[in-house]
Structure formats: structure tokens, C-alpha cells
Structure 1
């Protein structure tokens, strides 16, 4: 099954890993760059804080829905063309958004950019599953997730710093130009698919290609992992700022924003854990990564600021490691229509972010930080139980 596939250490592996890491970096930098700018939008456009959040939520919401549409298109048009079109469109729309004079026109560009961005996360995992050798998929997926996490962190930090110096329009324009450069690098370096041929896909059959994955013994559980893990992780980050802004810590907004630097720990862990999964097997590694995340969540219940920050680092390491393993497992588990399998995983991933991230606010309002620890801990315990079940799952289509 792995004949002609890309091996670790080859020029093709280095080119594909670089191209996809750049694509992930660009996509998530542009997606999350607006998060630290919400107060700026509220002031400049005269909107409420809730309305300012639409600049992010519209993009992520439409991205999630578009994942279910774009992946079938890649079966028809090909993996690389769809991802390249996604990167170019997102870059151009970000540049246009930076010049929009009104709030509603700005939101329209952000919404369209969210739609455009869906091409990379919807298709990249399928590309790796098809083109990489079984021994290389874990490391390649880890590098992809690393690019995603680095992009999310850098987009937030860079947009905030540039806004302080030159204003939000310049900040978004710079990120748009960076995204355009990443698209050109992607076009130059990513090898064209050699183990996948575009084929006609009757649209009447598309719902069946998605539903067919739910008849598999393992994929629905991996989709549940996406919902639980991302839901818990986003909840932790959504509300830790409220705790650390209040006494006895009373940290500044700048210090709170700097917490995103711990995404670097996630960058490293996604690559290392993904590689370990390729060597030792996903079923041996997934539950360990979730256990690490659970330990980090428990550490944040402490009163010591050092222990709390340490807990956030540990939880970040566990989350990115588990996500790297689970997402890579989806591509290997699906015997056909891998793009649809991957996009369903990501749909559940973003759905968990939205649903659990909001539900966590109820626990915080009624029980404070212990409520968050209990809520996120419950999500991670459920994810751990699923991982232990997956560890006993018979392999298909190839040993994991």
C-alpha cells in the first residue's frame, strides 16, 4: 500500500513538510489575528464587544461549514489546486479587509476569508494520508499541526504589536502580504499528488461519503475526540484571563496576551508526539497525551501563579500532542474519501470549540475556576475513556 509514497528524510518529504507547514502557519495566523484586536474594533467602529467578536466567530463558523463542502471539491479538482486557491483567496481577502471603510463591509470580507481558509485544513490531512509512507505520516502530521499552532500564536502576537505601532489596518495588511508569500511558497514547493487522481464525484453521493465514515468502528470515536479535546482546550484559554486579571494575581492585559507564547510548547509536542505515534503506534500514544493534558488542567487549580502557568503549558503540550495523533489517525483509518473523513474531524473540532467554549462560561459564572477545572476535566476524562477504547480497536486499513 505504501509503494511510491514519501519517506522521511527524502527531498520530497522536506518539500512537502515545508509547504504544508507554511500553509498551516498562514491560514491560522490570518484566522486568529483579529482576536487581540476586538477592543480596537469596538472603539474604531463604535460597536459592542459582543459585536466585535463577530470578526472572529463569523470566520471560524463559516470555515467549519465550508469544510464539508470543500473536501468533496478536492476529489474533483485535486488536492494541491484546492489548497493553493484557498491560500491565495484568503490572502487577497485579508488585504481587502484591511481597507474596508465600514464595519459591515469588514465583516463581509472576514466571512469570505473564513470560507476561503477552509481549503487547507479540509484537504491537507487527506494529502498527507495519501502521499506519506506509514512511517512518515506521524511526523508529517506533527509538522502540519506545528505550523498551525505557530501561525495561531504569531498572528495574535504580531497583529497586537503592529497595531500598537502602526494601527490595525497596517497590521492586517502585513499579515495579508505574509499569507500571499506563503501561498507562493506552497505553490513552489509542494509536490503534486502522485497517489491520487481527481475523479468526478456525483453530488448526490456526497452525503453518503460523509455518512459512510460513521459506519466505521473507529472514526466516530475519533470525531468525538476532536470535539472533546478542542472544547476543553478552548474553554481553558477562554477563561484563564478572567482569573489572572483578578486579585490576587492582577496581571496586565499584556501579560495575559503573552500566555499565547506557550503555544510554542504545543508546536514542539505536536511534532514529537506525532513522530512517536508513527514509531510506537497511535493506540499506545493517544491516551498518554490526553493524560498529560488532564494533569495540566488539574495543575491550574492551584493558587500559585507559577504552578498555574506550568499547568497551562502542560495542558497545551497534551492537547497538541493528542490532536496530532488523532487527526493523523483519521487519515489512516479512512479507506476511501479521506478528505471527507478529515473535514468531518475538523468540523467536530471547531464545533467543540464553539459549543464547549461557550458552555464553559456557565460553569465559570456559577463555580469560578473550580467549575472550569471540573468541566474541562470531565471532557478530558471522556476523551481518555474513548482513547482507551480505541487502543483495543482492530486496525483498519493498516496496522496503527
Structure 2
């Protein structure tokens, strides 16, 4: 097993972090371009947001395929093939001339984007020891945030200077360099044990995970937190692109530098989980996310930015803890368990905008925050329920042992 701090640990962790950067930069590149896409294709803000949410939807659905498939065929090869598919579809996106074609290609791209997220944590679960796994997951999820930042900065700066079509050419070039580095750095699996593919077994494993109240609660917490968090970014681009702020795509892209606190939150979550119960760490992250959301209601541009810095820290603190929790508590078919978590996670991202849209129509940004807090009260309650349930289970186990 790969131990924390070893050469193999840093090679594998760096490779997976680079891969994560590539995946999420491609996923989020359109988000600062939403006002530009709405204007160029003459579609509504909700329709423009589909250029992002259609990718998250197909990404989420693809996880149902890649996780079980990797239990049979292995992890590394699938990650390399799907990352190559991302590069090809990104190049094709630069050549599209209709919004329908753009949405279709983004849907295909989303399917390829799911390969690495579905498998990366399972790869670490196979190859890393327990201590290395907890720290590596935090670093990997921190790279998710850097990918989100990078994609949005590329989208904002390249979009304003070169237009949205050439932006896809830029990010395809970046992705090719990352893919080559990933292929060189990632060690081949040494502890993976292939399982024969049986559809009934695969479906049975997924049903087992869904019937496990510990895992199901974690799935719901992760899905509904992302349901709110990521779609707040989509709606705030329309707020800040309009009067009185009138920010250009370049500056809208810079808003996503607020993800930097998410990188910090992900890294700290692994350390916090060694000292405190993980469900309480989830609850802490959700409370921070609620406080940041409230901060954005103050009308100053700087308080809105501060609110998103706070939001990002809280969300990724909770998400990193949640992801690690699922991997540690799945008793079998760990890749399937991690994939199901991400299915809930990305389904939340793809549907949250639809949920928040009536609140947007009702009260604008204030309505978005009201709708967000309704959901976050529910996920906070779920995290506290998870803490009570696991604490009682621990007390029972200790009593039996005595």
C-alpha cells in the first residue's frame, strides 16, 4: 500500500490532482460566459445556464457506468481514455455554430468528464493506506477547486479577448498538456483486484448502498449542498453583469477566485476529521455556507465577494469530509459507493438552477438566498442526524465489546 509522504504517494496524488484540474476546468469554463452566450444565441438566463448544467447531468449519469466498469476493467485505463475523449469534444465545441449543437456536445463532453471523478477516490482506496487516503482525498478535492477556478478564469479572460468559441481551443490545449503529464505520473495499479461483471451484482451493490442509511444520508447531504452552492454562482453572474456592477466576462471569471478558500477548506477537512467526528465536520461546513450566503445579501460588491469566499470554504470543507466518509463506510464495491455519491452530487448541480429559478423570478438575488437557506437547513439537520446515529452505534459496539 502507498504510504503518506512516500515518493509514490506524491506521484499518484499529483497525477490525480492534475487530472482533477483538467476535468473541472473543462466543466466550468462556460460559467463566466453565461451572459455572453445568452446575448449571442438570444436565449434566457435559465437556458444559457443549460450549457453548464447539461454537462453536470450527463457527468452524473456516467458515474453509474464508470464506477462498476472500473471494478471489472481497472481504474487507470478508463481514466486515460475518458480524459482523451474530453479533449476531442472540447475541440469540437470550438467549431459549433448553433446553441442546440453546443448543448449536444456539452452533453457528450459531460459523459467523458465523469471518468476520472468516478474512479479517482476508488483508485486511492485500492492503493493508499488509511492515513494516506484521508489526506490525499482532501488534496484531490482541493484540486477540484483549482480546476473550477482555472476553467472560469480561462473562460472569463479568453472569452472577453477571443470570444467563446476560441476559448474552447485554449482549454483544449491546456488539457492536452495535463493529459500527457497524468499518463506519465500515475503509477499502475498494484492492489486492484478485478471482479467479473454481473449486471445483477452491480445493481445489487447499488441497492445495498442506497439501503444503507449512513451512506444515503451522506449522499443527500452532498447532493443538496451542491444543488445550492454551484447554482448561486450561475445566478450571481447575471447580478454582477447588470447595473449597478456591470462587470465584464473577465471580471466575472475573477469572481471564481473565491474557490481558493475551498482549496484551503478541503485541505483542512482531512486534518479536522482526525480530531472530530466527521458528521460534525460536515455540519460545521454547512453552517459556514449558510453564513456566507447571508453575507451576499449586503449590497456592496466587496461583501458579495466576501460571502462567496466564505461559501467556498464551508462547502468544500463539508464536501471533502463527505466524500471521505463514503469511501470509509462502504463495506464493499467502494467504486460503486463513491460513484453513487457523485451521482447525487452532480444531479444536484444540474437541477438546482431549476429549483432556484422561481425564487429568482420572485425576489431576484434575495429570493435565491431564501431558497438556498431552505435547502441548507435540511442538510444541516441531516448531518446532525448522521452524528447522532453513528454515535449511538459506537456506544452499542463499545457496550457489546465490554
**TM-score > 0.5, shorter chain as reference:** yes
Q: Does 1:86 align with 2:109?
A: no
Which structure 2 residue ranges, 5 or more long, are not aligned? 398-402
Residue 24 in 1 paired to residue 20 in 2? yes
CA shift in 2, pair 1:357/1:110, >3 Å: closer
Shifted more, 279-288 versus 378-387: the winner is 279-288
Q: How far has the Cα of 1:89 moved from its partner?
A: 1.4
Q: Any conservation in 2 of the 1:87–1:180 contact (CA below 8 Å)?
A: no
Q: CA deviation at 1:365?
A: 1.9
Does residue 11 of the first structure (1) align with residue 10 of the second (2)?
A: no
Query: Residue 252 of structure 1 aligns with which residue?
Result: 247
* Helix, strand or coil at the partner of 1:194: coil
Match of 2:160 among 161, 164, 168: 164
8 Å contact kept, 2:156–2:254: no
Query: Is the 8 Å Cα contact of residues 297 and 315 (structure 1) preserved in structure 2?
Result: yes
State whether residues 155 and 253 of structure 2, in contact with CA within 8 Å, keep that contact through their aligned partners in structure 1. no
Once the two structures are superposed, the pairs formed by residues 161-200 of structure 1 within 5 Å of their partners are 161-200=157-196
| 1:301 Cα deviation after fit | 2.7
The alignment partner of 1:340 has SS state of helix
Could you list the per-position Cα deviations for residues 11-48 of structure 1 after superposition, in whole angstroms to 9, with x for gaps in the alignment? 1111111011111100111122123334555666x553
Asked if structure 1 preserves the Cα contact closer than 8 Å seen for 2:49 and 2:234, the reply is no
Select which of 262, 277, 292 maps to 1:296: 292
What is the TM-score when the length of structure 2 is the normalising length?
0.89
- Residue 146 of structure 1 deviates from its aligned partner by 1.5
Cα 1:207–1:183 change in 2 (3 A) is same
The aligned runs of 1:86-235 (5 Å cut-off) are 86-100=82-96, 104-235=100-231
Alpha-carbon RMSD across the aligned residues, in angstroms, is 2.5
- 1:391 aligns to what SS in structure 2? helix
Q: Are 1:367 and 2:363 matched, yes or no?
A: yes
In the alignment, which residue of structure 2 is the partner of 1:312? 308
CA contact (8 A) 1:25 1:150 kept: yes
The corresponding residue for 1:355 is 351
CA–CA separation in structure 2 for the residues paired with 1:369 and 1:116: 33
After TM superposition, give the deviation of residue 58 of structure 1 in Å: 2.9
Which one of 288, 299, 324 corresponds to residue 328 of structure 1?
324
Alpha-carbon distance between aligned partners in 1 of 2:231 and 2:95, rounded to the nearest angstrom: 33
Of stretches 15-24 and 150-159 in structure 1, the one that deviates more from structure 2 is: 150-159
- Mapped to 2, the partners of 1:354 and 1:110 lie a distance apart of 13
- SS of residue paired to 2:288: helix
Whole-angstrom CA distance in 1 between matches of 2:193 and 2:173 = 32
Following TM superposition, by how much is the alpha carbon of 1:265 offset from its aligned partner in structure 2, in angstroms?
1.3
SS of match in other structure, 1:151: helix
Conserved? CA contact 1:299–1:307, under 8 Å: yes
**Contact residue 139 and residue 272 of structure 1 kept, 8 A:** no
What residue number does 2:400 align with? Answer: none
Which sits farther off after the overlay, 94-103 or 150-159?
Answer: 94-103
Structure 1 unaligned regions, length at least 5: none
Aligned length: 392
